[in-house]
Amino acid sequence: MSRVSEKAPTGVLDDLELYTRLYRQMLLIRGFEDLVQSLFLKGEIYGTTHLYSGQEAIATGVASLLEDRDRVAATYRGHGHALALGVDPQKLLDEMLGRESGINGGRAGSMNVNSLDDRLIGSFGIVGGSIAAATGAALALKRTSGGVAVAYFGDGAMNQGYVFECLNFCRVLKLPLVLLCENNGYGEYTSFRSVTAGEIRGRAEAMDVPAETIDGMSVWTVREAAARALAHARAGDGPAFIEAITYRFVGHSRSDPGAYRPEGELDEWKARDPIVLLRAQLEADGIDAGRLDDVARETSEQLDRMRAAGLAAPFPTALESKEFKD
Ligand SMILES: Cc1ncc(C[n+]2csc(CCOP(=O)(O)OP(=O)(O)O)c2C)c(N)n1
Ligand SMILES: [Mg+2]
């Protein structure tokens, strides 16, 4: 893993125990994605996968501020969102492997995971679909239990027409929605800049929705911005928008080697790896390096155990035709 070149200042993190837990969380997401990729290449995972590697600070930072009554809509790049919300990592891996013990009985696979017990109302394969689903959730929450709906989506979603219908609807009705745009610079193999006019943030501002653009590689920056956006939505003031600038360290999906990226771009972003940044900050603020090494070792051992258990788990039995009729 690359090292950050600049020296971290001291006294940045307000709660070192919390951020040590978030460090563990981010390592788990990264390790989970590495494991999924290796199992996919071995033919153990069918279909396709879209990995979250590089974007961990966003799901981790936002989820650390959510309440039990909140709801989240994720994308097909949603393993990290699910793990950050507390979905059992073993059940999530079993789902990837198509096993009965998967969080959705092995029938959702990588792209369609949901877990209502963990507040995850769905992972959506339609670009921008998470925003439509979260708009419905925000309406329901406002009418019933309270709480905020969060929609994660990519930069590509900002060129989908219905996204603006949702934004307008939420603003007019002052629905409690936080829109979290994970701008990783690409939609599939196309650079975001080549297909997007103007600034993403400005599109939300045009509808009188407060919006900010932030560094999506810094988990504490994400937390600060998410706290502002959630407070706005919880106060009944309507939606709030965050554009988090980030980068995916892997291809769009499956075996995409990312050959369309300019030379050196990946390395530049890896120098700002969100996990390396957090570790450097934790050490600068006084957490012992040995303790962080222990967290990394424990997480790696956890993933080894998960891999063995997942591969040993039974596949679902075929549905009886009667079940289809009912
Ligand atoms: C409505 C719709 N159009 C096109 C696609 C095909 N598609 C799948 S992923 C993707 C790129 C989306 O990019 P972005 O929103 O930036 O998300 P990222 O994959 O970068 O996380 C496209 C065009 C789709 N799934 N849904
Ligand atoms: Mg993108």
Residues with a beta carbon under 5 angstroms from ion ligand 2: 154-155, 184, 187
pLDDT band at 310 (very low <50, low <70, confident <90, very high): very high
What pLDDT shows up at residue 42?
96
Does ligand 1 lie within 6 Å of residue 157's CB atom?
Answer: yes
Q: In this predicted model, what pLDDT tens digit does every residue of 3-39 receive, in sequence order?
A: 455 789 999 999 999 999 999 999 999 999 999 999 9
Ligand 1, atom 7, residue with closest C-alpha: 127
* Nearest in space to 255 (alpha carbons), one of 83, 55, 48: 48
Estimate to the nearest angstrom the gap between the alpha carbon of 2 and the chain centroid: 22
- Ligand 1 contact, 184 CB (< 6 A): yes
Report the residue count for the chain: 326
Output the average pLDDT for the chain: 95
| Boundaries of every domain in the chain | 16-313
- Give CATH for domain 16-313: 3.40.50.970
Q: What is the pLDDT of residues 96-126, one digit of tens each?
A: 999 999 999 999 999 999 999 999 999 999 9
**Model pLDDT for residues 197-237, shown as the tens digit of each residue:** 999 999 999 999 999 999 999 999 999 999 999 999 999 99
Summarize the confidence of residues 262-285 as an average pLDDT: 98
Could you write out the DSSP letters of every residue in 101-144? TSTTTTSSTTT---BGGGTEEEEESSTTHHHHHHHHHHHHHHHT
Tokens of residue 216, six digits: 């999506």
Closest CA to 167 of 210, 125, 198, 214: 210
Exposed / middle / buried, residue 239 (Cβ in 10 Å: 0-12, 13-18, 19+): buried
Strand pairing class (190-191; 177-183)? unpaired
22, 278 contact by CB (below 8 A): yes
Q: What is the mean pLDDT of residues 244-265?
A: 93
Q: How much distance in Å is there from the Cα of 35 to the middle of ligand 1?
A: 23
| CB of 240 closer than 6 angstroms to any ligand 1 atom | no
Report the distance separating Cα 83 and Cα 92, nearest Å. 8
Q: How large a percentage of the chain has pLDDT more than 90?
A: 94
Atom of ligand 1 nearest to the CA of 156: 15
For atom 17 of ligand 1, the residue with the nearest CA is: 154
Determine which residue's CA is closest to atom 19 belonging to ligand 1: 187
pLDDT tens digits along 155-188: 999 999 999 999 999 999 999 999 999 999 999 9
Query: Which has the closest alpha carbon to 84: 180, 183, 185, 215?
Result: 180
pLDDT tens-digit map of 119-153: 999 999 999 999 999 999 999 999 999 999 999 99
User: Tell me, what's the pLDDT at 323?
Assistant: 59
What is the residue with the minimal CA distance to atom 18 of ligand 1? 154
The per-residue pLDDT for 254 is 81
From residue 140, give the alpha-carbon distance in Å to each of 123, 170, 313.
Answer: 18, 12, 37
158 Cα to the center of ligand 2, angstroms: 10
* pLDDT score recorded for residue 316: 94
